[in-house]
Amino acid sequence: MNLPAAQKMVDSRCQDLLAASRPVVEREGVRSTSSPVPRAV
């Protein structure tokens, strides 16, 4: 990923992703969950 110089070599951020808090979409016999998209800092 191409990042601006100010965003390189910074401490990482972690977050717990609980299954109950993820969005679920169900359509025509298919069930899908997704993880949140990282937002720009």
Q: What is the mean pLDDT of each run of 10 residues along the chain (41 residues)?
A: 80 75 87 72 57
In sequence order, the 6+-apart residues with CB closer than 8 A to the CB of 36 are 17, 22
Give me the torsion for CA of 19, 12, 6, 2, rounded to 10°. Answer: -60
Write down the pLDDT at residue 9: 83
Whole-structure pTM value: 0.34
The per-residue pLDDT for 39 is: 63
pLDDT at 38: 64
pLDDT of residue 28: 93
**pLDDT for position 15:** 72
